[in-house]
């Protein structure tokens, strides 16, 4: 039932990114879930992006329970700083207050971006360049952040796609998912010199692959395990931030998992997908509004969260997660709340 519901959710999100990437609908638990209970929810719906692939994934549980954090890898995993806020404070390019908030969505119009600009500072679309649905060069003051989605990219093409002046580079989308970028830690580490050389030449900071708990198929069900192995394999690699996804539906589940990432990897976080999706289909508009309010408050208050992005702009599915209405430039009640919540 849960699988069918999420497949229906994804059906409403086809073709979101200009390069053919589609968005994700993955879910997570605050504790490491039993792999047998997780559900793969992503299907390729819009083809492959120019940089190399398509979509995203799954999981289960939103009870907010907290399991014991696995110990850091003996090699490769960075030690947490004594003062967690130092990971952000040391970045001279950190956005001004309020710029943490962003959106994971593709196919924005100029009117959409203008409406969203009241309360978000950045957005991304799982691709290396902004959507063709926007007028060329149109930003409305909202920063676009490019992504290298999968492993079949080439830097010559990237150089033409990534906008001049881009400050950050997102990388591999849910690499532990067979239905997503599907890269093992060692494969991702082997590609990192190309990413690092490109980012260095452009003066960009690099965000780690964005991980999540995975059901099936997976090359690793546990995002903490995947990242630990990646850092161990990628000795000497430049990784400025750690990216994660989260779809459970309680504030306690979110905050406990943020703490686990912060303690284990010691880097500021980009939560590049979050909303309440990992629950039954009877979630009401009022519940989603309440969860968003709680989650945003937690993300804003956490000094180790550098940026976060709600998933998503438009969806015809249940639970109700759209911040944009059917008409261009019109915000839903969820969207109106998102752009006006305290920062």
Q: Do the domain assignments include residue 186?
A: yes
Residue 282 reports pLDDT greater than 60? yes
Cα–Cα–Cα angle for 38, 42, 47, nearest 5°? 160
- pLDDT value at position 143? 97
How close are the terminal C-alpha atoms of the chain, in Å? Answer: 37
Question: Binning pLDDT at 50, 70 and 90, where does residue 15 land?
Answer: very low
Measured CA to CA, the distance from residue 145 to residue 205 in angstroms comes to: 11
The structural domain count of the chain equals: 1
Average model confidence (pLDDT) across the chain = 79
- pLDDT value at position 334? 98
Q: Do the domain assignments include residue 253?
A: yes
> Averaged over 58-70, what is the pLDDT?
30
Q: Do the domain assignments include residue 35?
A: yes
Measured CA to CA, the distance from residue 110 to residue 284 in angstroms comes to: 30
Q: What percent of the chain has pLDDT over 70?
A: 71
- pLDDT value at position 251? 98
| pLDDT digit string, tens, across residues 189-232 | 999 999 999 999 999 999 999 999 999 999 999 999 999 999 99
DSSP codes of every residue in 25-90: -----SS---GGG--------S---TTS----------S---PPPPPPPSSSPPPPPSSTTHHHHT
Please give the structure tokens belonging to residue 79. 């030690």
> Averaged over 38-43, what is the pLDDT?
30
Give the CATH number, domain containing residue 108: 3.20.20.80
Residue 18 reports pLDDT greater than 60? no
Supply the range of the domain harboring residue 203: 2-61+87-340
- pLDDT value at position 294? 98
Q: Do the domain assignments include residue 213?
A: yes
Residue 334: strand, helix, or coil: helix
pTM over 0.75: yes
Question: Binning pLDDT at 50, 70 and 90, where does residue 20 land?
Answer: very low
């Amino acid at each position: 039932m849960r699988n069918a519901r999420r497949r229906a959710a994804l059906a409403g999100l086809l073709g979101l990114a200009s390069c053919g990437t589609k968005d994700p609908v993955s879910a997570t638990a605050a504790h490491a879930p039993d792999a047998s209970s997780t559900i793969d929810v992503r299907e390729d719906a819009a083809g492959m992006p120019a940089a190399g692939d398509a979509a995203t994934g799954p999981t289960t549980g939103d009870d907010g329970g907290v399991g014991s954090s696995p110990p850091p890898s003996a090699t490769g995993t960075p030690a947490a700083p004594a003062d967690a806020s130092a990971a952000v404070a040391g970045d001279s390019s950190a956005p001004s207050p309020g710029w943490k908030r962003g959106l994971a969505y593709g196919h924005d119009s100029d009117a959409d971006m203008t409406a969203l600009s009241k309360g978000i500072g950045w957005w991304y679309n799982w691709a290396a360049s902004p959507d063709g649905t926007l007028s060329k060069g149109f930003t409305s003051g909202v920063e676009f952040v490019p992504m290298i989605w999968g492993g079949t990219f080439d830097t010559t093409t990237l150089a033409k796609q990534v906008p001049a002046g881009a400050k950050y580079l997102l990388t591999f989308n849910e690499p532990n998912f067979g239905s997503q970028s599907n890269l093992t830690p060692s494969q991702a580490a082997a590609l990192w010199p190309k990413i690092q050389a490109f980012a260095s030449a452009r003066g960009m900071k690099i965000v780690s692959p964005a991980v999540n708990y995975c059901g099936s198929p997976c090359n690793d069900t546990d995002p903490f395990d995947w990242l630990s192995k990646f850092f161990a394999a990628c000795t000497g690699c430049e990784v400025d931030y750690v990216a994660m996804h989260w779809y459970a539906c309680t504030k306690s589940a979110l905050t406990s998992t943020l703490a686990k990432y912060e303690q284990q990897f010691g880097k500021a976080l980009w939560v590049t997908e979050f909303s309440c999706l990992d629950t039954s289909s009877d979630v009401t508009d009022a519940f989603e509004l309440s969860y968003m309010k709680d989650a945003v408050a937690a993300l804003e208050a956490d000094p180790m969260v550098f940026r976060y992005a709600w998933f998503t702009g438009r969806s015809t599915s249940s639970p109700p997660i759209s911040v944009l209405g059917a008409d261009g430039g019109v915000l839903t009640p969820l969207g109106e709340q998102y752009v006006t919540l305290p920062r």
